[in-house]
Chain A
Amino acid sequence: MGKYIVRRLLQMIPVVLGSTFLIYAMVFAMPGDPTAGKCGERACPPAYVKEFREKYNLDDPLPVQYGKYMGNVLQGDLGENQYGIPVAEDLRDRFGVTGKLASMALVFQSVVGILAGILAGLRKGGFIDNLVIVSTLFVISIPIFVSGFVLQYFFGLELGWFPVLVGADATFYRLLLPAMVLGSLSLAYIARLMRTNIAENLGSDYVRTAKAKGLSNRRIIGIHTLRNSLIPVITFLGYDFGALLGGSIVTEGIFNILGVGGYVFTSIGNRDGIAVVGAVTVLVLVYLIVNLIVDLLYGVLDPRISHD
């Protein structure tokens, strides 16, 4: 197990370095002018351009620039947004809200998705199975920003069940509808994955053995089948966390949630490149860390993985 953790950590290093370099290169090494649009309609005065280039080390060779940038990121310095406020400071206040929203969505999608998947998989071809298959197909094909606005319109504006916008006071109740919207897409995938796994495992040899031993149905499904079927779902949750964070940009924009995603959303609208890149870099880093944790967890859950 220890060996496995060390190996995974070592494998992680080049990916983190590479992907942050890629993000940096996309923003600062592109042939465009990074100060374009910063001074309104006019071109920026040379003094400003000079200061900007100096501040972000744009006259150094690219690897040096990147090294300095990463050094700053590691010290918690993500540059300043167009109002001169450090991006890291902005993000610090917003992380709690996004964390809350993401974990609510995560709980919602895993609980409902796994339950729906179990019910569908136990009776393949039955009514619930068909219902799950058809409804998940619809959920998958409707983009999250459409479903977000539609639900906001009906439940928030027409019926008044939920607040239309979340705003500064992000309570559990206020985040409920956004969290369901955010979790809906992954919910559909989880339900489908769980359904396939359950159905596949029910036909496997160990289930037949358990039946032959005379175990109760409850034990066969509750202990044996369920545990084995959950492993791929957990891997999926890790892989899908990126989509969840990406979705939070859209959801937080729609419901005016003052989290990291909402920050990216407004910064795109303001054409504030530094703020966008800083926030997205942080989101990618969070995604990589979550993936690493899931990978390690996977080694614990499935002993076959860590012993090779």
Chain B
Amino acid sequence: MTERNQTPHDANPDERLEHDDAPLHDNKPGEGGELPTESHEKQTPTSSSAAIAADDTGTARSLTADAWRSLRKNPLFWISSVLIVGLLAIAIFPGLFTDQNPDYGDLGRARIDPNSTHWFGTDRQGYDVYTRTIYGARASILVGVLGATGTLLLGSFLGLVAGYLGGWVDTLISRIGDIFFAIPLLMAGIILLSATRSMDTLLGVPLQGYFGTIFQLVLVLVLFGWPAIMRLMRSSVIQVKPNDYVQAARALGASPLRIIRRHVMPNALAPAIVVTTINLGVYISVEATLSFLGIGLVPPAISWGVMINDSLVFLRSGTTLHALFFPALFLSICVLAFIMLGDAVRDAFDPKSRDR
């Protein structure tokens, strides 16, 4: 709170509201000092002045500010955020965590158990498992982040267009969405990727090499992921559009773009963000599954899925169990972190689940 008190008052309406109610609860300083929403209700029958003020803040505070308040009290949010920041650091700057070359394989040191030089041991090709696990983060996370962002952008755009224009445009987009939605993601991935395997370029993008293989995966995820976000956005627009304030804005000559930005987006963004966060975890898992099946990322790209696939061949001899364990551990932690974050964000935005 101390930092925020120094910001100018006209900076942001949400922040200003937090200031206005700050004196009320100033007896409890610090991060956890704000009273939870439930206590506002408890106050209502006892002291009338506090009740009026509390009611004011309760209604005037925006959904985002409200969500942020309950979010930062949730330990799951902090655990998952720390994990994600750590994984992002690994993905962006793998060189900080290891000085080894992930592509250096030496058969002379194959299948060594974890020890002080090779923390996670080496695999059957003599690759250092720790180094490859660190470098594998990039591809896995890149696919997840690009896929989820692309899904969000395409889905939101089409949902806004469908909901705002209505009529035959809406029918067309919705029905196309139904069709894409009807094919389960993994199966769509299998079909599209087995077709693109024999191709050199798609939409002008070369499909070979590191970025080519990542591009194919992102394409699958976006192409078959957008209907969920589109439906969310569309229903938000349809809910908001008939409201008086939107009609008034339109009568005053506000452009569709402005109406969408000022009135539709704030209502629709919360569920879209929740789905996107959960998508991140799901997509990373799907990438690993497709790579495991042998049609996702392929060497020389390094990803956790590729490493797991590599290690499985000789798993049954039982000698390189660690080569499976560590990438699988990182993969699971990464998926766990994003799904936990999604859970926390959903709880924060959903007042029904907040009374826990």
A residues adjacent to B (C-beta < 8 A): 14-16, 18-19, 22-23, 26-27, 30-34, 36-37, 124-125, 137-138, 140-146, 149-150, 153, 157, 164, 196, 200, 242-243, 245-247, 249-250, 253, 264-265, 268-269, 271, 273, 276-277, 280, 283-284, 287-288, 291
Contact = CB atoms under 8 A, between A and B. Distances in A.
B178 A15 contact: yes
Contacts of A246: 184-187
B198 A153 contact: no
A268 B295 contact: yes
Give the residue among B182, B199, B339 with the most A Cβ atoms within 10 A: B182
B78 interface: no
B190 A153 contact: no
Nearest to A254: B312
B160 interface: no
18 contacts: A14-B178, A15-B182, A19-B182, A26-B188, A30-B196, A141-B281, A141-B285, A141-B339, A143-B285, A143-B292, A146-B332, A196-B353, A242-B183, A245-B187, A246-B186, A268-B293, A284-B184, A287-B182
Give me the 5 closest cross-chain CB pairs, A-B, nearest first: A242-B184, A18-B179, A246-B186, A141-B336, A32-B199
Contacts of A269: 294
B172 to A, nearest CB: 11
Contact of A288 (B182, B285, B292): B182
B288 interface: yes
Give the residue among B197, B198, B308 with the most A Cβ atoms within 10 A: B198
A25 to B, nearest CB: 10
A304 to B, nearest CB: 19
B45 interface: no
Given A19-B182, A269-B294, A143 B198 contact: no
Contact of B308 (A36, A146, A249, A273): A146
B35 interface: no
B335 A141 contact: yes
Contacts of B202: 30-31
B190 A249 contact: yes
A250 B352 CA distance: 37
A166 to B, nearest CB: 15
B198 A22 contact: no
B180 interface: yes
A145 B182 contact: no
Interface stretch (B103-111, B114-122, B242-250, B314-322): B314-322
B321 A277 contact: no
B292 A145 contact: yes
Nearest to B336: A141
Contacts, number: 146
Contacts of B199: 30-33
Given A137-B343, A150-B328, A246-B184, 6 more contacts: A22-B180, A33-B198, A245-B187, A249-B186, A268-B293, A287-B182
Interface string B280-291: 010001001100
A264 to B, nearest CB: 7
A149 B285 contact: no
A19 to B, nearest CB: 4
Interface magnitude class on chain B: 35 or more
A149 B293 contact: no
B293 A250 contact: yes
Nearest to B185: A246
Nearest to A140: B339
Contact of A149 (B192, B195, B312): B312
Contacts of A15: 175, 178-179, 182
Contacts of A271: 194, 197
A247 B187 CA distance: 10
B254 interface: no
B356 interface: yes
A158 to B, nearest CB: 8
Contacts of B190: 249, 264, 268, 276, 280
Interface in B218-235: none
Nearest to B220: A26
A250 B289 contact: yes
A140 to B, nearest CB: 6
Nearest to A144: B289
Give the residue among B175, B318, B332 with the most A Cβ atoms within 10 A: B332
B143 interface: no
Nearest to B325: A150
B182 A284 contact: yes
Contact of B175 (A18, A144, A242): A18
A124 B355 CA distance: 11
A268 B198 CA distance: 13
Contact of A268 (B182, B194, B339): B194
B184 A138 contact: no
Nearest to B327: A146
Nearest to A269: B294
Contacts of B328: 142-143, 146, 150
Contacts of B180: 19, 22
Given A14-B175, A124-B356, A144-B289, A280 B191 contact: yes
Give the residue among A16, A19, A124, A164 with the most B Cβ atoms within 10 A: A19
A149 B324 contact: yes
B179 A19 contact: yes
B318 A157 contact: yes
Nearest to A16: B182
A27 B191 contact: yes
Interface string B161-182: 0000000000000011011101
A31 B196 CA distance: 9
B350 to A, nearest CB: 10
B298 interface: no
B336 A138 contact: yes
Contacts of A265: 293
A280 B182 contact: no
B278 to A, nearest CB: 10
B145 interface: no
